[in-house]
Structure 1
Amino acid sequence: MADLPPLRTLVGEGWDDYGLIDSGGGRKLERYGAYRFIRPEPQAMWEPALSASEWEAADGEFVPASDEDGGGRWYFHKPVPAEGWPLGWRETRFTASCTPFRHLGFFPDMAPVWDWLRERVADTPDPAFLNLFGYTGVGSQALAAAGAAVTHVDASKKSVAQARENAELAGLADRPVRWIVDDAGKFTAREVRRGRRYDAILLDPPKFGRGPNNERWQIEEGLAPLLADCGQLLDADSRALFLTVYAVRMSALAIGELLSQTLAHLPGTVECGELAVREEARGLLLPTAIFARWSC
C-alpha cells in the first residue's frame, strides 16, 4: 500500500437520544434521552459556551478521583433511574445507565464508525462481522440490523449479558449473532487456526483490561499481535477493518502505519485520524479518540 493519506476527522453528530450540549473547563455536558450529565473531559481546554446555571441544571455529574487511577463517583442532583433507561440509534435499542467507570453504557462517538462499516458491507451477501471488545453490543446490533452475521466478543460476562439484553430490547434477538465471553487475543488466535475469515472487523480495545481467566491486556503490548491475527482473518474479498484507540499516548499516524504494515498483503487503503463529536452550543469539535481503518 502507498503512503498514508492526510489525517481525517470522523465527526459524530447528535441525534434525538444523544447530544454533546456544551464543553469546556475540563468537562462536558451531554444529554442522554431525558437526562443531562456532566463528565470530565481533559481535552475540553476552552471556556464553556453556556452559562453556569445551565450546567448546574444537569441531573448528575461524575467527579473523578484526585489520583490518576481512573476512579471517582457519580453525584446526582435529581432522581436518575438506577436500573437505566432505554435509548436508541437508528434501528438499535439499548439501556443507558450511569456506570462506575463514568460511561453511560455506550459510546456515542462510535456512531460514524458504525455507519462506515455498514456502508462497506452493504453490497456483500451475508457479510461476516467480528466485533472485538464489543462492550454492550450497539455496534453488533448496528451490523446485525444491516444483515451481517455477527461474532461479538468481550471479556466481561456482564457486558455480554447486557449486549444480549440490548439486542432483545431492539427486537434483534433472532439475528445470527454469536455472543462470546473470551479474551480477544486468545479468541482471534483460535479463529486463525480454524481458518475462519470475516468481511469486516471492529476493534475498540481499552487501554488496560483483564480477560475472563485473568488474562492481562495492555494495549501497548497486545495491539500489534492482535492486529496481526486480525490480518489473517481478512482476505482480498474482505471489505473493512476499523481500530479505535482511547486515552493512550499514541498517535493516529503510529497506529495507521502499524495497520498499513500489518495488512500489506492485502489490496486496499489505510486511513487514520481522529474521532470527534460536534458540540451543539457552537459547533465546536471535541476530539475523543484516534483511529486507523482499512477498506477494500
Structure 2
Amino acid sequence: MLIEVLCSEWDQYELVDCGDRRKLERFGEVLVVRGEPRAWWRPRLPESAWNRAQAVHDERAWTFTPDCPREWTLELDGLRLLARFTETSKHIGVFPEQWPHWRAILESGGEGRLLNLFGYTGAASMVAAKAGFEVTHVDASKPALTWARRNQELSGLQDAPLRLILDDAGKFVARELRRGKRYEAILLDPPAFGRGPKKELWKVERQVSELLAQCRELLSEQARFLILTMYNTDASALMLRNLLSDALEGLGGTLDVGELALRQTGSDKILPRSLWGRWTA
C-alpha cells in the first residue's frame, strides 16, 4: 500500500518558511506568521525575513502592521474567496493544502449531487458548484456559514444549485437518510472537537466511524467518490484506511490514503498538514 503525499500548487499561496513551530506564509500579497505544531525543525530564513510579516498570531491574538488589510480576496480558478482576520481564530478562512482536492473536484466532471459536511467557509463547495455538482453544504457554525455565503456572492454563484445549511452534521445525515436522499459524492472534513448549533458535542474519535457508516448509506448507486480529511495529530493514514475500508466494505472501487502538505519555497522541506482518504468508484 502506498501513502501518497499531495502538495498544493495554488499560486495564491506560498509557504515562505517554517520551523520552530511557526510558519511564514503568503496569502495573495499578504505575509502572515502563524503557529505550526508540526514544524519541529529550524527555520531557513533569518528573523529579519519573518519580521516583514504584516500579521502575526502568537496563539493568543493577532498583531498587525499599519498597512495590513483586515480582509482581502484570493482567486481560485475563476472563483473569489474571502480571506479575513478574526479575533477568535488564527485561521483566515481558507486551507491551501486542500488545493489537490479542489483540483480533483473541478476536474471530475461535476455530475450529480455532492454533500460537503463540516464545509467551513465553503471553498470546496464553491469549486464543486463551478464544476457542475448540485451542492449541499453543511456546517454547525453560523459565522462560517455567513462567510460561505459571502464567498458564494463574490464568486457569482448566487444562482448555482448550492444550498448552505446550518446544522449538526450527524443530525443532518440522519434526516437525509430518513428522507431517502442520496448523493453521488461526499466530502467530510471533521474537526477533532466541536459543538453543533444547539451545543451538540462532537468528538471525532467517538463519532466519525458511525458518521462514515451513515454516509455509506447516503451514497447512490451512481456514487463516484468520498473524500475524508482529518487534522488530528493522533491519527494516521493507516487509521484512515482502516476506517474507510470498514465503512465502505463491499462497494468495490479503489481506496487511496495519504497526507496533504505544503512545499516550502527554496527548500526540500515539505510541511505535513492533514491526512486524507479517498474512495473512488
Give TM-score scaled by structure 1 length.
0.91
- Find out whether 1:12 has 2:4 as its counterpart: no
Partner residue in 2 for 1:68: none
How far apart, CA to CA, are the structure 2 residues paired with 1:182 and 1:235? 22
The structural deviation recorded for 1:42 is: 1.7
The structural deviation recorded for 1:50 is: 1.6
1:166 is paired with a residue whose SS is helix
1:14–1:20 CA contact under 8 A, matched in 2: no
Q: Which deviates the most, 215-224 or 241-250? A: 241-250
Match 2:40 to one of 38, 45, 57: 45
How far apart, CA to CA, are the structure 1 residues paired with 2:206 and 2:67? 42
Deviations 1:104-123 (A, max 9, x none): 1111111101112333x31x
1:211-222 counterparts in 2 under 5 A?
211-222=196-207
Q: Which deviates the most, 266-275 or 178-187? A: 266-275
- Find out whether 1:295 has 2:280 as its counterpart: yes
Match 2:91 to one of 85, 96, 103: 103
**Could you say which structure has the greater relative contact order, defined with CA pairs below 8 angstroms and 6 or more residues apart?**
1
2:244 is paired with a residue whose SS is helix
Partner residue in 2 for 1:76: 64
Give 2:185's aligned amino acid: A
How far apart, CA to CA, are the structure 2 residues paired with 1:178 and 1:14? 26
- Find out whether 1:281 has 2:266 as its counterpart: yes
Partner residue in 1 for 2:151: 166
- Find out whether 1:192 has 2:188 as its counterpart: no
Q: Which runs of 5+ in 2 are unaligned?
A: none
Partner residue in 2 for 1:88: 75
How far apart, CA to CA, are the structure 2 residues paired with 1:42 and 1:157? 28
Deviations 1:233-254 (A, max 9, x none): 1144211111111133111111
How far apart, CA to CA, are the structure 1 residues paired with 2:40 and 2:169? 35
1:276 is paired with a residue whose SS is strand
Between Structure 1 and Structure 2, how many residues are aligned?
280
- Find out whether 1:150 has 2:135 as its counterpart: yes
Q: Which deviates the most, 32-41 or 276-285? A: 276-285
Indicate the percent of aligned positions where both proteins have the same amino acid.
Answer: 45
Partner residue in 1 for 2:241: 256
Runs of 4+ in 1 over 2 A off after TM superposition: 77-82
How far apart, CA to CA, are the structure 2 residues paired with 1:81 and 1:260? 45
How far apart, CA to CA, are the structure 2 residues paired with 1:13 and 1:39? 20
Q: Which runs of 5+ in 1 are unaligned?
A: 65-71
Give TM-score scaled by structure 2 length.
0.96
2:24 is paired with a residue whose SS is strand
Give 2:172's aligned amino acid: F
How far apart, CA to CA, are the structure 1 residues paired with 2:170 and 2:275? 21
Deviations 1:127-149 (A, max 9, x none): 21111011111110001001111
How far apart, CA to CA, are the structure 1 residues paired with 2:172 and 2:240? 22
2:105–2:127 CA contact under 8 A, matched in 1: no
